Structures are given as structure tokens and as C-alpha cells.
């Protein structure tokens, strides 16, 4: 088990009162708090080493470049994507949303004939299919929906069971010989349900389709090995894994990244540029990293990755499973409905719920008055809310710093909501 006191001491932001109550932070699915080591790393970079990477000959540029690439390697190690087949498999982006848009744009560029013959494996045309699910965050759904519009491909979706789990067992029916891309979440940011991706990946590869996996909600909570999972691409953000905002990652198999055409253009990604013929672009990952890099943010993310590995992802998962069991007691509160699995198996500590007769915004404000931070709204996932017959919900989500006492405080506050609003 983790040392709760030692862990919490590394998050000074938690040592405060909100509205006269000790802060209980249960919004880590939106963004996790940052340990002091991450904050210090970002600060120290700006104090001592700040410079552009990969294109300076002076000492600060050299130190910045080394730190940048060392941080990339640390993030790769966290997800089992170390240097492979002679090059890196991790592309640095502005976040998971940027990574997904990068992929959708690159696939669209390939569909226009960009990238040569090797890029045709990414090209789509009318009659092709893109498969996603009703559980997706809008950052997965919308880029690939737009890609379908641009190319004439058909967008299809896995349906969900009554607990909001993706019906992976229908993979053989949903994924057909016409499917070219499967873009799907590993863990729902609404229900906390873990997707059984094995049959989805197996069927996708059987028909020659590419698998894009959203691991935003799994990397901070579960042991992840992208090689073992056999996915082609994956995306996640640093700020949910206790790192800084403004940086995220695209994992891609080396051979796929080499064939993928670029999606954005400018400095740092071109080998040779001409006025009278097409440019010659750099090898990946630089090909996909146009412009000035988020150097300090990546360095902070590297520290966060090392910090997680030092604790141990198995230990983190075990600790959060205990907290999850506490959160699931919300289902025992009169008038409260949990959206998603009501037992702790095959889920993480992200629990969305509806309080009968009270608007989620009102619930959230009441909970906040008790010093407890939760999420309100549709959580950028409207289709899954419609699946449950709702437009919005409240969401409590755990991090390594949460305790059973904090879930008790949430339950006590939620139990007061309907009485406060006079709907019981």
C-alpha cells in the first residue's frame, strides 16, 4: 500500500480550506494536482536552462535539448514504449486533443495523396469505415467524425450496455472488411469503465484496420504497456498524470510514424525547404513537432512519469481501488443514480452520478460549499449521457492523494443535497 501521509505531503495545494472546510479534491479526471517535484522541475528549468531545443549550439540549448529528450524517454518508459526499431515512438504534442487532431489531419492528408505510396495505408475514401463508440470523449469523436465528412467515409459506433460499457464482444459485427480506423477509449471519463480492448484490437488487425487508443484516463491509474496491448497509436495528456498542462503525447508504431505524412508545418520539422519543389521532412518524431516545443512542460511530465514509476503503478491501482469502493457507496444514497458500473471490478475511481430532482450544477455548487471539488456538466461526452437519458451529471474522480475519509465527506454532502433543495 502507499504511504498516504507521505504522498499528500507532496501536494501543498491540498493543504488549504475552501469555504471554511478542508479541501477535498475529487476532480482528477479533469486535471490532477502536481507534486512539488514536478513544480520544482519546471521552475528550475526556467531558472537555469531555458533555451530552444534541437537548433542551438550554445550551452543552454545543449542542456535544454538533453533534458527534453531525456524527458521523452521517461514518458515512453511509463507506457512501455521505449526506443524501438531504431527510433522514438513518442511524439510530443500540446495534449491528447492535439494528438488526435494530428492523426485525423494526417490521415486526411494521406487521403489527398500526400506522403507518397507508403502513406496510402492511412488514406480513406467513400465506402471506407471509421469505427468509434458512444462512450467517447468529444476529442476522439469529433476529429474522426470530421475526417469521415472530409473523405466520404462512414462513421460507425460500438453500442454500450446498460452500465455504459463498450460492447467489445460485438467487434466481429461492428468492425468489417471496410473498416480502416478504429478510434476508441481505454477507460471512459464518464463511467470509469475499462474497455476490453483485446477482441477489438484482434478484429481490427484481422481486417487490416488501424487502432487508435485513448489512454488519457488509464495512464495515471493503471499499469500500461502499449506494445503488449498491440495498438497502433495511442494518445494521452501530461496534466492528468500529475504533470503540467500544455503537453501531451502521441504514441505510434515506428513503421507507421515513418509512413505517416505530417499534419502541421513550420520550423523544426523540415530537413530541406525549397521555393520550387516540395520540402523534405525530417524523420519522426521531429516530423510531427513543428514550431517551438513545450520544453519546460515536457521536463515536468518526465519528472511526473518517474514519480509514478517510483511509487509503482500496481500500488497506485490498488490504492485507488480502495477509494473507488468508497465512492461507489454513492449508489446507496437515496435518490442517487450511478452512471456506469456499480461494482469495483474493471473500472477506475471515476464515478459519475445523478441526483434525482436536482440539476447537476446545483449539486456541484452545494458540494463545493462543503469544500469538495467535483465536476459538473456532460464532461465532453454527450453521447454517453444520452445513453443514460441525461444531458449532464456530477462526477467525482480519484487520484493517488485521495483517502477514504474524503469519500466519506463526499457521501455526507451528497446525502444532504435533496433535503437542502427540498425535493426529498
| Residue 216 annotated among the catalytic residues of the structure | no
pLDDT of residue 88: 84
Please choose, from the candidates 219, 252, 171, 226, the residue with its C-alpha nearest in 3D space to the C-alpha of residue 348.
Answer: 219
- The whole-number pLDDT of residue 56 equals 82
In angstroms, rounded to a whole number, what is the distance separating the alpha carbons of residues 96 and 113? 26
* pLDDT at res. 2: 83
Q: What is the pLDDT of residue 86?
A: 39
10-residue averages of pLDDT along the chain (424 residues): 91 97 98 98 98 92 96 95 67 98 98 93 98 98 98 98 98 98 98 98 98 98 97 98 98 96 94 93 95 97 98 97 97 97 97 98 98 98 98 98 98 98 88
Strand-pair category, 21-22 with 210-214: unpaired
Q: Is 277 exposed, middle or buried (0-12, 13-18, 19+ CB in 10 A)?
A: exposed
Task: Give me the pLDDT at residue 195, please.
Answer: 98
Give residue 83's pLDDT: 56
Please tell me the predicted confidence (pLDDT) of residue 84. 47
Name residues whose C-beta falls within 8 Å of residue 4's C-beta, 6 or more positions apart in sequence.
Answer: 401, 403
Predicted confidence at residue 113, as pLDDT, reads: 92
Q: Check 61, 77, 317, 380 and give the catalytic one.
A: 380
CA distance 318 to 379: 26
Domains detected in the chain: 4-30+312-420 (3.90.1150.10), 42-309 (3.40.640.10)
Reported residue count of the chain is 424
The pLDDT value recorded for residue 87 is 46
Amino acid at each position: 500500500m502507499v504511504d498516504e501521509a507521505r504522498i499528500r505531503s507532496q501536494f501543498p495545494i491540498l493543504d488549504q480550506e475552501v469555504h471554511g472546510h478542508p479541501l477535498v479534491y475529487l476532480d482528477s479526471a479533469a486535471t490532477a494536482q502536481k507534486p512539488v517535484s514536478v513544480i520544482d522541475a519546471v521552475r528550475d528549468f526556467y531558472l537555469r536552462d531555458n533555451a530552444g531545443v534541437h537548433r542551438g549550439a550554445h550551452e543552454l540549448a545543449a542542456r535544454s535539448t538533453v533534458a527534453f529528450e531525456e524527458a521523452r524517454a521517461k514518458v515512453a518508459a511509463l507506457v512501455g514504449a521505449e526506443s524501438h526499431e531504431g527510433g522514438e515512438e513518442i511524439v510530443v504534442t500540446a495534449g491528447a486533443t492535439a494528438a488526435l487532431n494530428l492523426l485525423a489531419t494526417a490521415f486526411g492528408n494521406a487521403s489527398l495523396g500526400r506522403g507518397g505510396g507508403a502513406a496510402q495505408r492511412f488514406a480513406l475514401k467513400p465506402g471506407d469505415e471509421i469505427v468509434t463508440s458512444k462512450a467517447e470523449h468529444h476529442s476522439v469523436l469529433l476529429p474522426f467524425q470530421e475526417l469521415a465528412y472530409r473523405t466520404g467515409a462512414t462513421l460507425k459506433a460500438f453500442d454500450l450496455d446498460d452500465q455504459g460499457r463498450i460492447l467489445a464482444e460485438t467487434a466481429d459485427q461492428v468492425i468489417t472488411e471496410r473498416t480502416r480506423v478504429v478510434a476508441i477509449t481505454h477507460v471512459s471519463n464518464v463511467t470509469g469503465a475499462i474497455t476490453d480492448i483485446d477482441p477489438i484490437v484482434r478484429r481490427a488487425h484481422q481486417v487490416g484496420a488501424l487502432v487508435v487508443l485513448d489512454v488519457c484516463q488509464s495512464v495515471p491509474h493503471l499499469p500500461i504497456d502499449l506494445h503488449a496491448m498491440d495498438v497502433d497509436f495511442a494518445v494521452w495528456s501530461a496534466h492528468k498524470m500529475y504533470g503540467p498542462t500544455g503537453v501531451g503525447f502521441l504514441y505510434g508504431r515506428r513503421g507507421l510514424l515513418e509512413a505517416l505524412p505530417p499534419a502541421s508545418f513550420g520550423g523544426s520539422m523540415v530537413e530541406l525547404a525549397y521555393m520550387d519543389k516540395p520540402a523534405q521532412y525530417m524523420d519522426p518524431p521531429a516530423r510531427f513537432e513543428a514550431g517551438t516545443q513545450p520544453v519546460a512542460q515536457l521536463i515536468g511530465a518526465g519528472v511526473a512519469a518517474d514519480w509514478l514509476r517510483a511509487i509503482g503503478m500496481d500500488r497506485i491501482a490498488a490504492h485507488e481501488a480502495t477509494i473507488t469502493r468508497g465512492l461507489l457507496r454513492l449508489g446507496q444514497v437515496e435518490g442517487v443514480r450511478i452512471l456506469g458500473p456499480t461494482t469495483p471490478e474493471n473500472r477506475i475511481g471515476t464515478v459519475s452520478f445523478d441526483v434525482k430532482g436536482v440539476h447537476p450544477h446545483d449539486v456541484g455548487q452545494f458540494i463545493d460549499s462543503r469544500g469538495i471539488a467535483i465536476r459538473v456538466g456532460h464532461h465532453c461526452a454527450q453521447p454517453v449521457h444520452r445513453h443514460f437519458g441525461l444531458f449532464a451529471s456530477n462526477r467525482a474522480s480519484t487520484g493517488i492523494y485521495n483517502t477514504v475519509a474524503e469519500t466519506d465527506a463526499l457521501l455526507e454532502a451528497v446525502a444532504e443535497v435533496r433535503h437542502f433543495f427540498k425535493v426529498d
